[in-house]
Amino acid sequence: MQTWWFPFYHPLALELHRKGQGVICAAREGEEIPDDVPSVAAERGIRGIYGATVRAAEEQGFNRMMIALTCGDDPSPFLDVPEDQWHRGLHRLEEAMEALRCAIPYLLGAEDAQVLFLVPSEDCAVGATVTGAVGGFCQWFRREAEELNITVSIQRDDHLGNQLTD
């Protein structure tokens, strides 16, 4: 059975769960996760992701990981983007990289191991920056991931549609 690990909740987790796919999410402070979606408690920050990843792997196991890198929609000109929005977007990217580093040992040897990055659909400076950084990382990382038998891909959040739920 395919089981998706979501270190950051995304509504697609609920959709996948309702269609019968295995899902487990990190329940981070301040994130609203529907009650029927399986989750493990996670404190804020990188240490919380580490603990939640280990518990998810040991309690349920997973062979797929979906990393949703959303950021606020701010169509402001570049010079007017609020500083806190930059910090949130880039901090989420940093947390995502650490979440991936923590999850890879649990993906090793898994059948059909996959990592899917959902990148922002927002047409804004922070979203474009995060999307570019993930694209560059994945281009570099694919070779190593292939040697580990892990498929790495990127989807824009607004173009995902029903690809994963059919």
Lowest-confidence region among 10-14, 43-47, 88-92, 149-153: 43-47
Interval 42-52: pLDDT, tens: 887 778 888 99
pLDDT confidence tier of residue 124, bands split at 50, 70 and 90: confident
pLDDT on residue 55: 92
Q: What is the mean pLDDT of the chain?
A: 88
Buried b (16+ CB within 10 A) or exposed e, 127-148: bebbbebbeebbeebeeebeee
Asked if residues 68 and 114 have their Cβ atoms less than 8 Å apart, the reply is no
pLDDT confidence tier of residue 29, bands split at 50, 70 and 90: confident
Full-model pTM: 0.88
